[in-house]
Amino acid sequence: MILYNEIINRQVNISIIGLGYVGLPLSLSFAKKANVIGFDIDTKKIDNYNAGIGLSDYIELDELEDITISFSSDENRLKDAKFHIIAVPTPIYEDNSPNLEYVIEASTILGRNLKKGSIVVYESTVYPGVTENICIPILEGASKLKCGVDFKVGYSPERINPGDPVNKLESIVKIVSAIDEDALDIISSVYELIVKSGVYRAESIKIAEAAKVIENTQRDINIAFINEISIILNHLEIDTRSVLNAMDTKWNALGFKPGLVGGHCIGVDSYFLIHIAQSLGIKPETIIVGRKTNDLMAKYICKNTVSKLLESRKSIRNTNLAIFGFSFKENCPDIRNTKVIDLINELKNYGINIKVVDPIVNSKEVFNQYGINITDISEIQDMDAIIFAVSHEEFYKYSLDSIKFMYSKDVQPLLIDIKGLFDRTNAISLGYNYWSL
């Protein structure tokens, strides 16, 4: 536990490699207890953080004076640390196979700067076996050091839930694992500095890796089931949310709701499991079908939107439609793998004019990544239809009466309420042509 004592006495630095939605809050939390080096190859991001820009979502500004952190894009700074946490994204390619480029690059950079006696912890989501079979050999090759002799490695999957004001980093139990008990003791103690809910010591790195991808895949499958149920109930002309409300009265109700399933976790991790299963000659039918169901929801919503539009007109080309919400989930600015873009592209195939409203996302990021302009709410008028795709808290302030002024006066207002923000009965009584999952 010498390394742990050096950390808490601020004699040794912690480095966080990758300063995104996981790495940034992690680095700021640790900086309250230890000296931290926040590293990222994105120089613009580093410049912003050093200027205090982009930190207020994770820490109170008056707390900045009490933390010890330096942000850098100079990999040589990693030599100044002996406890390293890699928290880079692990997306998928267009063919849905795992993209490990970032974690491989991070391992290579760190390996070039790794000192004897160091511990490296991976937080990036991976399929079982990646840490030991891919990452450790890269560290060894780049550093010319031997894992287990010159340095130790652990795995502690990130469990951050963006946009969740309750379940934050400090309040979520942290799964920790390592190549041996000595490393596990140190890793556990270091994370206990910031995690109030404690740590769970997994028996192996592979167990910890599997736990992360499976807990997200479980959610993916459960939402797929509810999405499929919603399709069935829509054909039966039964309100899905009324059914779910009735179900929720039972003590063991799971509480899942229908909707678009994207993002960098639930919409991705299932493919990690599919990949490793297929490499073993196993076809994971349930996981594959669940992912396919969720991926087809944008097409299904588009089909119903078009059908509703055709109830009151012969042609829908050049009709005006507004979509409220672009991020992959509510109350979160993250636009990675958002399925709203799939819905937009489906609707554009019918020649529909689309405007997108989202007060939470970064409009420049949206345009640079997707070519979509974010429209101010004041410009939403003369609409033929409005789709509420994401249930941002900001949208709950709009009433059925207030949004009616956003429609053209010449048509029956079509409201596609994907997330069920509004009451169906009230909407219909106010003259809306209403549809919801």
Active site (catalytic) residues? 265
User: In angstroms, what is the C-alpha Rg of the chain?
Assistant: 24
- Cα dist from 372 to 220, 302, 317, 345, whole Å: 27, 18, 19, 11
Joined tokens for residue 187: 């890793």
At 387, give phi and psi (nearest 5°): -115, 125
Rounded to whole angstroms, the Cα distance separating 294 from 258 reads: 9
DSSP string, 82-132: EEEEE-----B-TTS-B--HHHHHHHHHHHHT--TTEEEEE-S---TTHII
Residue 75 DSSP code: G
Q: Mutual orientation of helices 136-143 and 101-112 as an angle, nearest 10°?
A: 30
The angle at the Cα of 103, spanning 98 to 105, to the nearest 5 degrees, equals: 120
Rounded to whole angstroms, the Cα distance separating 342 from 250 reads: 35
> Which secondary-structure segment (H or E) carries 428?
helix 424-429
CB atoms within 10 A of CB 319: 21
Rounded to whole angstroms, the Cα distance separating 112 from 292 reads: 41
> What own/partner pairs with CB < 8 Å and gap ≥ 24 does 394-400 have?
394/359, 394/360, 395/324, 395/325, 395/421, 396/421, 400/426, 400/427, 400/430, 400/432
Q: Yes or no: say if 250 and 207 are a contact pair by the CB < 8 Å rule.
A: no
Residue in 382, 309, 300, 298 with CA at minimum distance from that of residue 342 = 298
Rounded to whole angstroms, the Cα distance separating 371 from 350 reads: 19
Rounded to whole angstroms, the Cα distance separating 332 from 184 reads: 33
Q: Three-state SS for 408?
A: coil
Contacts of 129 (CB under 8 A, 6+ apart): 206, 209, 276
Joined tokens for residue 186: 């140190």
The angle at the Cα of 278, spanning 277 to 279, to the nearest 5 degrees, equals: 90
